[in-house]
Structure 1
Amino acid sequence: MTAPPRSALLLIDLINLFDFEGGTALARAAEATLPALQRLVQRFRAGGAPVIYANDNFAHWQMDFRELVATCCHPQARGAAIATALAPMPGDYFILKPKHSAFLATPLPVLLAKLDVRRLVLAGVAADACVLATAVDANAREFEVVVPRDAVASRTPALRDTALDLLQRSRAAKVTTAARIRLPAGSGAGS
């Protein structure tokens, strides 16, 4: 009998200043997903499954991830509530990405191989851009992809729903809710 694939939670662009056109609407939508996101992160950490932050560097090529987190957690930053609530913990992983997909020109494929991950749960922003691009790339690389609808956001509900419908209809991802996502036995560290 084949063992279930090891899972990882990929948090996309949640460490964010939201200082771009449409950023205020996206930040509000992302804040609404915080309860589901926090439960997912807690469940993955408790289960010993990898939590990976995949974040744009927002064209700040000299800033590293820790600096980005500190900048976004500043009380005056538009994304402070989200960055503070979802701040990385020791043991979490991170990659900086230059474009939409977390796979494009990043070490993510190598990291996932080293962690023996074959199932990705994608959460974050924006469902109609970076989450969509990452899901399609993950599917093309033959990962099992799951997207919880209550843990992704777009500037409008219609944009989110259109992207999720496309992922579901194309079978690039299974769309569900955060509460329905289970970690297969053996998803944790050392499994």
Structure 2
Amino acid sequence: MSDTVILVIDMMNTYRHPDAEKLIPHVEPIIDPLSRLVASAHDRDDADVVYVNDNYGDFSAEFSDIVRSALDGERPDLVKPIVPQQGLRVMTKVRHSAFYATSLAYLLTQLEPERLVLTGQVTEQCILYTALDAYVRHFPVVIPRDAVAHIDPALGDAALQMMERNMSAEIVTAADCLP
């Protein structure tokens, strides 16, 4: 049982896609708060970290393949600080939500978290859809605004507002995620 589960969503990214140039400037400032949050969770018995990453259509890819591709991508500096440590829980996803076609819901029922912290990219897509799926499964959602990145600033802000108003998500800073 964990008080807090931190999901790190889609941070293993090669940044070789059409929206990369729009996304990168918004990923750069979240790396330090996100890496500090993950490091803090490692030092605690009441927090778990789970990495969920898109397989980018490669259904034969192991998580280690996705990490290796990201480290060989355009911006390894955005990947290295948050590469999952050995032994952490990892899973791949095929669509926007971290719940869709993954074993995440089952894992969370085993861990019984009091709060589910969603971090990563993209706020107006994968974070938003994962938050909705968490909400309908009755997991309390927390979004650290400084540990999620968006492509479009207006849509990112709108997604945060929707998660707060419609899904009762708590919007905080990364430093406030672990009590």
Give TM-score, length-normalised by structure 2: 0.93
1:123 alignment partner in structure 2: 119
Which residue among 7, 12, 16 is the counterpart of 1:10?
Answer: 7
Letter in 2 for 1:139: Y
Structure 1 moving runs of 4+ over 4 Å: none
* CA deviation profile, 1:136-169 (whole Å, cap 9, x unmatched): 1001100010000010011132221111011111
Q: For residue 7 of structure 2, give the secondary structure of its aligned residue in structure 1.
A: strand
Q: Please list every run of 5 or more consecutive structure 1 residues that lacks an aligned counterpart in the other structure.
A: 184-191
In the aligned structure 2, how far is the partner of 1:59 from the partner of 1:29?
A: 24
Which residue among 92, 108, 116 is the counterpart of 1:112?
Answer: 108
In the aligned structure 2, how far is the partner of 1:171 from the partner of 1:132?
A: 10
Preserved CA contact (<8 Å) 2:4 2:178: no
1:30 alignment partner in structure 2: 27
Q: For residue 113 of structure 1, give the secondary structure of its aligned residue in structure 2.
A: helix
Which residue among 49, 54, 57 is the counterpart of 1:56?
Answer: 54
Letter in 2 for 1:179: A
Preserved CA contact (<8 Å) 2:8 2:118: yes
Preserved CA contact (<8 Å) 1:38 1:86: yes
Give TM-score, length-normalised by structure 1: 0.88
In the aligned structure 2, how far is the partner of 1:172 from the partner of 1:68?
A: 33
Letter in 1 for 2:178: R
Q: For residue 86 of structure 2, give the secondary structure of its aligned residue in structure 1.
A: coil
Alignment of 1:52-91 (within 5 A): 52-74=50-72, 77-91=73-87
In the aligned structure 2, how far is the partner of 1:124 from the partner of 1:19?
A: 17
Which residue among 39, 44, 47 is the counterpart of 2:41?
Answer: 44
Residue 89 and residue 128 in structure 1: after superposition, are their counterparts in 2 closer, same or farther (change >3 A)? same
* Root mean square deviation of aligned Cα: 1.6
Letter in 2 for 1:86: I
* CA deviation profile, 1:31-90 (whole Å, cap 9, x unmatched): 21111101110111111321101100001111110011011112xx12411221101102
Q: Measure how far apart 1:5 and its partner are.
A: 6.6
State the aligned residue count: 178
1:187 alignment partner in structure 2: none
Residue 164, structure 1, aligned to residue 160, structure 2:
yes
* CA deviation profile, 1:97-142 (whole Å, cap 9, x unmatched): 0100011110101111222324210000000000000001001100
2:90 alignment partner in structure 1: 94
Letter in 2 for 1:178: A
